[in-house]
C-alpha cells in the first residue's frame, strides 16, 4: 500500500470481518494503525480514492455505490468520512442509506478533536495531515497549477497566515517536509502533534459496539 495508490485507486476490502469501515484513502494508514493497536480483527477496511476530495460533489455517490456493493457482505458499514466539503449532502445520503459516519466538518477537525478545533476558530490557517504532507504536490501544487504558474500563489494563499501541520506520528522527515511546504507557500509554520484525535475514539466505539 503506497500513497500514490491510495490517492488514485483507494484500498479494496478483503471481504473479511463483520464490520466494514468505508473510508477515504487519506485515512488508510491511520485506521489500520488504530485497528492493529486495538486488535480489532473483526473490522475490515475499504478506502475510496483520496483524490475525490478535489471533487467533493462526487463523494456522496461514491459512498453510496460502495455501501450498496458491500452491504450484504457485512453486518454493519460505518462511513469514515466527515462532511468533507459536501455541504451536508454526505450526511443526508448516509441517513438515507441507514449508515453512520464520523462527526465533524473534515479530518482536520476530528484529528484536532472537534470541540477543540471549533474553539480555535483559525480562519487564516492552512492545514496538512501526514498524508497530505506526503502527497503535497498531488493535492495542492498540481491541482492549483502552481507547478506551472507559481505566480498564482498569492491568489490562492494570500489570505492565509500560517500552515499548521497536524502530525499523526512523530517523524522528523515529515516534519522537515511540512516545513518546506510552508516555505513554498510563503506561510509561517506551526507543528501540532494531534495523534489520531477523535478518529481513534470513533473507531474504538465502532469496534466495541
Amino acid 154: pLDDT: 92
> Structurally, how many domains does the chain consist of?
2
Place of cell 504558474: 149
161 and 70 inside one domain: no
Please report the DSSP string for 157-205 in residue order: HTT--EEEEEESS--HHHHHHHHHHHHHHT-EEEEEE-TTHHHHHHHHH
73 and 113 inside one domain: no
Whole domain around residue 137: which residue ranges?
109-193
11 and 98 inside one domain: yes
Q: Which of 54, 51, 75, 79 is nearest to 65 (CA)?
A: 79
126 and 170 inside one domain: yes
CATH, residue 39: 3.40.50
Amino acid 10: pLDDT: 75
Please report the DSSP string for 129-164 in residue order: -HHHHHTHIIIIITTTTTTT-GGGHHHHHTT--EEE
98 and 125 inside one domain: no
156 and 169 inside one domain: yes
Digits of tens for pLDDT over the chain (209 positions)?
A: 677 787 778 778 887 779 999 999 999 999 999 999 999 999 999 999 999 988 999 999 999 999 999 999 999 999 999 999 999 999 999 999 999 999 999 999 999 999 999 999 899 999 999 999 999 999 999 999 999 999 999 999 999 999 999 999 999 999 999 999 999 999 999 999 999 999 999 999 999 98
> Which DSSP category does 72 fall into?
G
Q: Going by C-beta distance under 8 Å and a sequence separation of 6 or more, which residues neighbour residue 185?
A: 126, 153, 157, 160, 163
pTM of structure: 0.92
Amino acid 155: pLDDT: 92
Q: Give the integer Cα–Cα distance in Å for 40 and 18.
A: 10
9 and 102 inside one domain: yes
95 and 170 inside one domain: no
86 and 116 inside one domain: no
Amino acid 6: pLDDT: 75
67 and 124 inside one domain: no
137 and 101 inside one domain: no
100 and 203 inside one domain: yes
Amino acid at each position: 500500500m503506497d500513497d500514490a495508490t491510495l490517492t488514485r485507486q483507494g484500498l479494496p476490502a478483503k471481504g473479511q470481518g463483520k464490520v466494514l469501515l468505508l473510508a477515504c484513502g487519506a485515512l488508510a494508514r491511520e485506521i489500520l494503525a488504530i485497528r492493529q493497536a486495538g486488535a480489532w480483527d473483526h473490522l475490515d477496511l475499504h478506502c475510496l480514492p483520496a483524490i475525490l476530495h478535489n471533487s467533493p460533489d462526487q463523494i456522496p455517490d461514491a459512498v453510496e455505490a460502495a455501501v450498496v456493493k458491500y452491504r450484504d457482505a457485512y453486518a454493519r458499514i460505518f462511513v469514515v468520512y466527515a462532511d468533507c466539503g459536501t455541504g451536508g449532502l454526505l450526511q443526508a445520503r448516509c441517513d438515507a442509506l441507514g449508515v453512520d459516519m464520523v462527526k465533524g466538518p473534515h479530518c482536520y477537525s476530528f484529528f484536532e478533536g472537534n470541540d477543540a478545533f471549533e474553539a480555535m476558530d483559525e480562519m487564516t490557517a492552512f492545514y496538512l495531515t501526514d498524508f497530505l504532507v506526503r502527497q503535497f504536490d498531488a493535492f495542492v501544487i498540481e491541482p492549483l497549477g502552481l507547478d506551472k504558474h507559481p505566480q498564482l500563489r498569492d491568489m490562492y494563499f494570500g489570505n492565509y497566515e500560517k500552515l499548521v501541520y497536524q502530525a499523526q506520528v512523530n517523524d522528523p522527515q515529515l516534519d522537515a517536509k511540512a516545513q518546506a511546504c510552508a516555505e513554498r507557500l510563503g506561510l509561517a509554520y506551526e507543528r501540532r502533534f494531534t495523534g489520531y484525535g477523535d478518529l481513534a475514539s470513533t473507531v474504538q466505539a465502532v469496534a466495541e459496539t
